[in-house]
Amino acid sequence: MQGFNMGRYHPPDPDATPSSRRRGSSKALQTPTVRFEMPFAIWCSSCSQPTLIGQGVRFNARKKRVGAYFSTPVYRFSMRHGECGGEIEIETEPAKTDYVVVAGGRRRDYGGSDEASPCPEVDKQSAFSTLERTIAHRSALAASNSRIQALAAAQDATWSDPYAHNQRLRAALRPARRLRLMQQRRDAQMAQFAPQLVLLPPSEEDARQAALVDFGAAPRRLEEEEEEQEEDEGVARQVWPDAPLAKPLFQRSARLAANSSPHASCLASAIASRTRLAHDPFVQSATARFAPVKKPRRQPPHPDAATPKTEPSSLLVQYDSD
C-alpha cells in the first residue's frame, strides 16, 4: 500500500537559498543573501568624506524581487558599506540591461552621457534656432545626396563590365605568379645542388655571353653511323630501285679505302681534339665499343634443287668369290 504523498514531485522555490530549503519551510520566506559584485564604480553618500567603491568589489547583499518588466523580474540588492555602515541599494533595469543605484550612493560620472543633446537647452527653447538648424540640415542633406549620387554613378561606370576588370586584374597578377614559380624552382635547385651559393638575378649581358659559347657536338659512335648509312641506302633503293646513279660515279677501290681510312680517321680525331676552341666539361666522350659480330643466317634449301641420290655402299672386294 502506497503512503500519502508518495511518488509526487514538489519543485523547490527558485527564490529560496539552498540553506533555507535545508532548514525547512519555516525559513523559506526569509530574504536570501547572495554574493553581489559591484557592476560599476559608485560614490558612497553615507561616508563623511567622499569615498569611491570600485568596480568589482563584492558584498553580501540581500536579494529581493520588487517588480517585473513584462515577464522579466526586477531585483533589488541591499548591502552595507563596511567603512561607514551605510545602506546601499541597487536595482536591475531590464529595459536597458543595466543597474540603477536607488539609495546610499551615486554612480561615478566619467564625463560623457549618451543622452546628452547636441544642442544646449537655450537652443531647444528658441524657435528661430530650431528653424535655422532645420534649414542647415536640409542643405547638408541635399549636398550629401548629390555626392552619394555622383559616387554611385562613378561606381556603376567603373564596374559596368566585371569580366573586363577581372581580365585586367588577372593579366596583372599572372606575370608576378610566374616569376614567383620560377624563383621557387631556382631556390629548390640551389638548395639541392649548392646550398651555400647565392645566384644573382639574370641579366642581358649574361644571356649575350652564354649565347656566344659553342660547346660543339658529342662524338658519334660507330653503331650510329652504320645505322644511318644503312637507312640512307635503304631509302635510295626504295626511291630509285633501278637507277644507274644509285652508286657513286667514282667509287674508291676497296684496297685504297682500307689503307687510308684508319689514318684519315686518326688524323681527323687529332685535329678535332687539338683545334677545338670550347670544351664542355659535362659532355663525356663516348667510350670505344667494338661492333658485335653478326652471325650469318642459314639459308633454307631451294625447292627446285634436285635431291642428291644416295648410292649403296660397295663391298669390300670387287670380284666374285669362287
In a domain, 254, yes or no: no
Interatomic CA distance for residues 104 and 45, integer angstroms:
6
Segment 291-307 mean pLDDT: 65
Indicate whether 27 and 78 sit together in one domain.
yes
Does a structural domain hold residue 259?
Answer: no
Same domain, 85 and 42: yes
CA distance 56 to 39: 6
Q: For the whole prediction, is pTM greater than 0.85?
A: no
Number of domain units in the chain: 3
User: Which of the listed residues 133, 158, 183 is the one where a domain comes to its end?
Assistant: 158
| 297 found inside a domain | no
Regarding whether 167 and 94 lie in a shared domain, the answer is no
Range of the domain at 51: 18-107
Establish if 182 belongs to a structural domain: yes
Residues 101, 32 within the same domain = yes
What are 224's three cell numbers? 650510329
Instruction: Determine, yes or no, domain membership for 283.
Output: no
User: Looking at the domain assignment, is residue 44 inside a domain?
Assistant: yes
> If you average pLDDT over residues 114-128, what whole number do you get?
56
Domain contains 232: no
Task: Give yes or no: residues 166 and 152 share one domain.
Answer: no
More confident residue, 281 or 112: 112
| 52 and 96 share one domain | yes
- Residue 10 in any domain: the answer is no
CA distances from residue 40 to 36, 107, 108 in whole angstroms, order as listed: 12, 7, 8
Which cell goes with 313?
Answer: 655402299
Torsional class of 5: left (φ above 0), alpha (ψ -120 to 50), beta (otherwise): left
Q: Are residues 128 and 151 in the same domain?
A: yes
- Give CA–CA dist 238/260, Å, rounded: 31
Range with the poorest average pLDDT among 7-16, 98-107, 197-206: 7-16
pLDDT per residue as tens digits for the range 61-85? 999 999 999 999 999 999 999 889 8
Q: Are residues 35 and 98 part of one domain?
A: yes
pLDDT, tens digit, for every residue of 46-55? 998 989 999 9
